[in-house]
Amino acid sequence: MQPPPAPMCSSCQKHLASVHVLDLASGVLKSEQHLCQVCAETLGVVQSKSQKTKPMSAEILEDLIGSMTGDKGKMRGRSVGPACPGCGTTLGDFRMRGRFGCGRCYDTFRAALLPLLERVHDAPRHQGRFPTRPPVLRTRPDSLADLRRRLDAAILGENYEEAASLRDQLRNIDPPAGSNPAASKPAGESA
Amino acid sequence: MTDAPFSVPENFQPGEWLRGQGQDADIAICTRVRLARNVTGFGFYTTMQPDDSAELVQVLNRALTRPDFPERLRIVDLPGLGDIERSVLMERHLISRDLAVADRPRSVAVNEQESVSVMVNEEDHVRAQVFQSGFAVQATYDRAERLDDAIMADVPYAFSEELGFLTSCPTNVGTGLRMSVMLHLPGLVWADEIDKATATIQKISLAVRGLYGEGSRALGDFYQVSNQVTLGRSERDIVRDVGSAVERLMTWEREVREALLRGDSRCRTLDRIHRALGILERAYILSSEEALNLLSAARFGVHAGLIGGLAIREVNTALLLSQPAHLQRMHQSTLTSEQRDEHRASLMRGILARR
């Protein structure tokens, strides 16, 4: 039997039901209950949406990540949703691991992340200290590892012109032993 | 069976976290600050290739050992250590359980006093920790900030103006700061008030955990109180939040301890402490959990001035040496659980025999 559209809460009879409890045994519907959010919370069927003061642990985080992306079944697997341009991580990956793949993931998945941050933290806005020097000027898009990865890809793709250019860049920025690691800057950038 | 009691190795140092000194050291064992940071230009650990991990270890370790660095740190390459040695570092809180068992290039930089440890390639590229014996939230944070500044002078960290320091797990984003105080709360546990105390702390969004962090049980009446929120509050707020919660807990613990040593309760409390000492002095088999519980009672007794001839330093040494990896290192071999229980009892008899 299908529940009727927009049933009233079977407990208070005042509000529209938004929580539907179906008791299934071997795939057969044995009983059903339709509750509004308030009654469902009161009866302990669902957790309070306003429980912001509850301390957050990694275990709870996993549940939250599960709920932040909607349909659980669809979110499993690597290929779901747009991939982060920085590292290729998808929202599905994040849901499975509970960890991002790089700093850019925070931008890529910002819309899905903000409600989670609001729940876990006090406010989704940094109130703490800033780095002693602006890191934006010192990001290393052409770091050794990144260049090496691009070189491997160019060789695999038989793109020898690009490979030669990347090899030259690698030679130029590979720091001599004992030098300051921070001095390994993108090719062409003055130290 | 081990008949002869173990002797504690000469020059054994329990490390900063068990030094047993500092403000409120009868309750606050140690204050710890941890900062989580990631280096720009490298993926987080979930996407990092082994080559990148190895390069990152080199980059960070060069920064951590440069001549003008404010802390004198020694680099320990973790894949190069045996399982027992890695577990010893974990039992001393210098590395996390995750870093001990991870399968990637990684290291830890530690100072001689074991009051600073910088983990490289943990869940975040950098997990910088500062410890200070006793209750010292502000001083510990200040030292951690100097350490952070010194690393940042060389290495650019992933940071966004909106979300602060970017961490692989969004529960740490923002300040990346976890401020914890490890507490010994036998009074609250014995008086059955610990659940009430724990609930009070959790209501203000702080966490109460066992001694070895998330997922660890509170054994031997040892707890750590720390902040959960890292975003939307400043470092100053977090230091103050944790500090004031710990002060309230310590006041509560002191009141309960006094009550336990008054009137009808006194005899029961003395009985419990001296029974614990009796077992420690005489037992031939002691599990890790039982030893921790007994040492907790002994620690309470020493601080209450009820036990003569036993120094808090000896109790702390016993606490650390009775851990599985320390026992095995002292014995220079892998021991079964049963063998460890025998050696642990032997160790306790050795320490208590000196009274």
Which token pair is B95?
């590395």
Q: Using a CB–CB cutoff of 8 Å, tell me whether B166 touches chain A.
A: yes
Q: Best mutation site among A121, A125, A130, A132 for testing chain B: the one with the most B CBs within 10 Å? A: A121
d(CA B65, CA A31): 68
Task: Round the CA-based radius of gyration of chain A to a whole number and report it.
Answer: 26
Q: How many CA atoms lie within 13 A of B165 on its CB side?
A: 29
Mean pLDDT for the stretch of residues B50-73: 95
Q: Which residue(s) pair with A28 in the sheet?
A: A25
Which pLDDT value is given to residue A143? 61
Which of A82-91, A106-115, B54-63, B208-217 is predicted least confidently? B208-217
CB atoms A86 and B43 under 8 Å: yes
Residue with tokens 């209950």: A33
Query: Distance between the two ends of chain B, CA-based, in angstroms?
Result: 24
Looking at CA atoms only, how far is residue A71 from chain B in angstroms?
21
CB atoms B49 and A140 under 8 Å: no
CB atoms A61 and B155 under 8 Å: no
Which token pair is B259?
């009550």
Q: Does residue B353 have a pLDDT over 60?
A: yes
Which token pair is B13?
């140092």
A146 burial (CB, 10 Å; 0-12 / 13-18 / 19+) is middle
Which token pair is B3?
């008949």
Give the tens place of pLDDT for each residue, A94-112: 988 899 999 999 999 998 8
Give the tens place of pLDDT for each residue, A134-157: 544 333 445 666 677 677 777 877
Q: For chain A, what's the residue count?
A: 191
User: CA B82 from chain center: how many Å?
Assistant: 21
Q: For chain B, what's the residue count?
A: 355
d(CA B170, CA B144): 21
Interface of B with A in 19-48 (CB under 8 A): 38, 40-47
d(CA B132, CA B15): 10
Q: Does residue A63 have a pLDDT over 80?
A: no
Phi-psi region of A84 (alpha: psi -120 to 50; beta: other; left: phi over 0): beta
Q: Using a CB–CB cutoff of 8 Å, tell me whether B205 touches chain A.
A: yes
Sign of the dihedral through C-alpha B62, A182, A126, B49: negative
Mean pLDDT for the stretch of residues B251-273: 96
d(CA A95, CA A93): 5
Instruction: Give the list of residues 6+ apart from residue A177 with CB closer than 8 angstroms, or none.
Output: none
Q: Closest Cα partner for B121 from B67, B210, B53?
A: B53
Residue with tokens 């290739």: B49
CB atoms B166 and A106 under 8 Å: yes
Which pLDDT value is given to residue A42? 62
A84 burial (CB, 10 Å; 0-12 / 13-18 / 19+) is buried
Interface of B with A in 231-290 (CB under 8 A): 231-235, 237
Please answer whether residues B343 and B313 qualify as being in contact, where contact means their C-beta atoms are separated by less than 8 angstroms: no
d(CA B176, CA B40): 15
Q: Which residue(s) pair with A48 in the sheet?
A: none
Q: Closest Cα partner for B204 from B235, B174, B238, B232?
A: B238
Q: E strands along B42-95, which residues?
A: 74-77
Which pLDDT value is given to residue B30? 94
Q: Does residue B218 have a pLDDT over 90?
A: no
Q: Closest Cα partner for B2 from B343, B348, B349?
A: B343
The enclosing H or E element of B290 equals helix B288-303
Q: Does residue A30 have a pLDDT over 60?
A: no
B141 burial (CB, 10 Å; 0-12 / 13-18 / 19+) is buried
Which token pair is B353?
């025999």
Instruction: Give the list of residues 6+ apart from residue B169 with CB closer than 8 angstroms, or none.
Output: A58, A61, A98, A99, A100, B123
Looking at CA atoms only, how far is residue B170 from chain A in angstroms?
7
Of A128, A149, A181, the CB nearest to B234: A128
* ipTM of model: 0.86
Q: Closest Cα partner for B127 from B54, B16, B34?
A: B34
Sign of the dihedral through C-alpha B70, B71, B73, B79: negative
Q: Using a CB–CB cutoff of 8 Å, tell me whether B164 touches chain A.
A: yes
CB atoms A122 and B232 under 8 Å: yes
d(CA B246, CA B137): 10
Which pLDDT value is given to residue B44? 96
Whole-model pTM over 0.90: no
Residues of A in contact with B69 (CB under 8 A): none
Looking at CA atoms only, how far is residue B62 from chain A in angstroms?
7
Which pLDDT value is given to residue A184? 34
| Sequence-ordered alpha helix ranges (H) in chain A | 37-42, 58-68, 72-75, 91-97, 105-108, 110-120, 144-156, 160-173
Which pLDDT value is given to residue A23? 57
Mean pLDDT for the stretch of residues A87-97: 90
Q: Which residue(s) pair with B35 in the sheet?
A: B128, B177
Residues of A in contact with B235 (CB under 8 A): 128-129
Q: Using a CB–CB cutoff of 8 Å, tell me whether B203 touches chain A.
A: yes
